[in-house]
Amino acid sequence: MINENNLQSEIYKWFNNTYCLKSHNPRAIIFSIPNGGTRNIREAMTFKATGLLKGASDLVVIFPNSKLCFVELKTNTGTQKPEQKDFECRVSSLGYEYHLIRSLDEFKLLTLKNI
C-alpha cells in the first residue's frame, strides 16, 4: 500500500515532468506546503511566526489557464483532520478549487480537466 509521502512524490514528479519543465510553453507550477512532520520547539515557533497554516493543503497547482487548485493527498483509508476540513471550507468559500486526491490516476483526471 502506498503512503501519502510516496503518493505526493509520484504526483509531483509526473506533473513536473509533464507540464513544468522549461521546454513546456506555457509552464505550469506545482509546489508543496511542508506542514507535516515533527520539529523541535524552536523550529515550530519559527514556522508559525512566519506563516505556517495548520491544515493547509499538501500541494498547490497553478495551471497555465490561470486556474489555481489546492490538493490534499490521502491514502485510500486516510481521512481529513478538522484543520484540513476548515482549510477546505475557507478555500472553497473564496472561490478556489480544493481536491482530495487518493491516487496518481485521480490526479491525472483532475489535470486533464484543468489543462
Q: What is the mean pLDDT of the chain?
A: 93
Whether 59 shows a pLDDT value over 70: the answer reads yes
State the pLDDT at residue 48.
Answer: 84
Q: How many CB atoms lie within 10 A of CB 79?
A: 9
Q: How many CB atoms lie within 10 A of CB 50?
A: 7
Mean pLDDT computed over 54-65:
95
Where do the H-state alpha helices sit in the chain? Answer: 4-19, 41-49, 82-93, 104-114
Would you place residue 34 in the very low, low, confident or very high pLDDT band (cuts 50, 70, 90)? confident
pLDDT tens track for 64-92: 989 999 999 999 999 999 999 999 999 99
What is the amino acid identity at position 71? Answer: V
pTM of the model: 0.91
Would you place residue 26 in the very low, low, confident or very high pLDDT band (cuts 50, 70, 90)? very high
State the pLDDT at residue 94.
Answer: 98
Please give the domain boundaries of the chain with CATH numbers for all domains.
Answer: 4-114 (3.40.1350.10)
Mean pLDDT computed over 48-74:
94
What is the amino acid identity at position 85? Answer: K
